[in-house]
Structure 1
Amino acid sequence: MKFFARAAGSVAVTLCAAAMVCATTPGLAVELANTEFLAVDRPDIQTKNVAYPAQVPIPPAPIVPAEWTSEGDQGPQTLADSTKSDARPDADYASLSDAVAAQGIPDSPDDELRCLAIGVYYESKGEPLAGQLAVAEVILNRADSGRFPPSACSVLKQRGQFSFVRGGRLPNVSTGSTAWKTAVAIAKVAREELWESKASNAMFFHARHVSPRWKLAKVASVGNHIFYR
């Protein structure tokens, strides 16, 4: 009898201790209160449906170490940060003329830039900027197409394609003129894709005063030329 009495007393103490823990520990109390008791071994006991609180406490946001805010840190980035790294702020111009005016004109442009500018200069010098950009786009599109030589210089020098080219040699240009500086700026805008041209996918063009009757898809009429692909 003493054994059973001691056992009963021990159980009572344990139950009281558990009740005190539940009463003094909010997290545990909520968890126990929200528990569903399923009648697995007792078919006579029905499942108890418990209504969960309307608002669940939201855990505090993690604290970002101060070291992550320094330059070159490898800490987590927000979506805005990662998107910003891919942006091209130099491409945000109000107009094509603004994009052209923003370009620095190198004294000695690289060969490809020089060839592209020569093509713009001799094919569309004096035309509106949009017309000059469209000519540059055709040269670049040909170089990227796989159907023509793979560079701006070789596209211009391809036999029978550009009337200003003689014997596979490009003509000289007066590099101090405003028209040349504009052609170089247009070439930079086109090569760096800083402005969208109406003839962005064109591969061919001809002057308005001729009618070659090409069986090609017309893309746009810009400046003094009509463009096709």
Structure 2
Amino acid sequence: MTDPFRVARQALSGLLAVVMLLGAPLAQAQEPVHALSVHAPAGPHDLQVVVAEGPANGAITLPSTGPATTTLPPARGMLALAPAPSATAGAVNVASLADLVAATPVPANLSAELECLAGAVYFESKSESLAGQLAVARVIVARSHSGRYPSSYCGVVFQPSQFSFVRGHAMPAINHASRFWANAARIAVIADQGSWKSPVEGALFFHAARVSPAWGKTRLAAIGGHIFYR
């Protein structure tokens, strides 16, 4: 006769064995997932992704690192412009013509053209104010550009019957060691470069204030001992 208790114990043992066999994979699956680090190559955009520990339920949680910052290159066809240089880059920043004259070095060797221009300033206006000297120089510059007179400073200065100090197509001797010549040379450089605007810009004629020729021309200004006309 079969012992019913023995049969029951055997059945229970078999059931427990089945449960243990089925439970082993489940226990293994519930083991924690270890942290995983993924590194991109080192550089300005070095990236590190860390997978946090947790149950193997198929979900991966990435820790927040804050908002991403993205730098985009300029769009095609668009140029990134550098700040424009100052329009007076390399120029002397001065408040008056006197300051500009003081800041202008006396050239060691003037060209023949500037020698003619400075000579005209010296003989026509060396006793005038700096503004008066510049006005005389700018008339000579304007004549050389007008198309109505010779195209060089020397040609304008030595044109017959134009400047009373010219004798036989030559200038009298100049005292190059004097301050008058130093100022005349500086004024010639300033007038040639156009680095200071004169009140008589565009004037082609002038005469001494002590005379009154009937020229019928447009008067621009009187500076010192000269009156200037267009």
Shorter chain as denominator, the TM-score bin is 0.5 to 0.7
Aligned-partner Cα distance in 1 for 2:229–2:157: 18
Looking at secondary structure, tell me which structure has more helix per residue: 1
- Assess if the C-alpha contact under 8 Å between 1:113 and 1:187 holds in 2: yes
Give unmatched runs, 5+ long, in structure 1.
1-58, 64-74
Aligned-partner Cα distance in 2 for 1:196–1:183: 17
Specify whether residues 112 and 89 from structure 1 end up closer, same or farther in structure 2 by C-alpha distance, changes over 3 A only: same
Higher relative contact order (CA closer than 8 Å, sequence separation 6+): 1
Q: Which residue of 1 aligns with 2:152?
A: 151
Q: Which residue of 1 aligns with 2:81?
A: 77
Secondary structure of the residue aligned to 1:90 is coil
Aligned length: 157
Aligned runs of 1:112-123 on 2, under 5 Å?
Answer: 112-123=113-124
Equivalent AA in structure 2 for residue 77 of structure 1: L
Aligned runs of 1:1-229 on 2, under 5 Å?
Answer: 62=73, 76-78=80-82, 80-81=83-84, 84=85, 86-90=87-91, 92-229=93-230
Q: TM-score, normalised by structure 2?
A: 0.64
Equivalent AA in structure 1 for residue 73 of structure 2: P
**Sequence identity percentage:** 46
Q: Structure 1 stretches (4+) deviating beyond 6 angstroms?
A: none
The alpha-carbon deviation at position 172 of structure 1 amounts to: 2.1
Specify whether residues 61 and 167 from structure 1 end up closer, same or farther in structure 2 by C-alpha distance, changes over 3 A only: farther
Specify whether residues 126 and 147 from structure 1 end up closer, same or farther in structure 2 by C-alpha distance, changes over 3 A only: same
Q: TM-score, normalised by structure 1?
A: 0.64
Aligned-residue RMSD, C-alpha: 1.9
Give unmatched runs, 5+ long, in structure 2.
1-69
Secondary structure of the residue aligned to 2:91 is helix
Q: Deviations over 1:119-176 (max 9, x none)?
A: 1000001111000000000000000111000111110000000000011112221100
Specify whether residues 144 and 153 from structure 1 end up closer, same or farther in structure 2 by C-alpha distance, changes over 3 A only: same
Specify whether residues 126 and 61 from structure 1 end up closer, same or farther in structure 2 by C-alpha distance, changes over 3 A only: farther
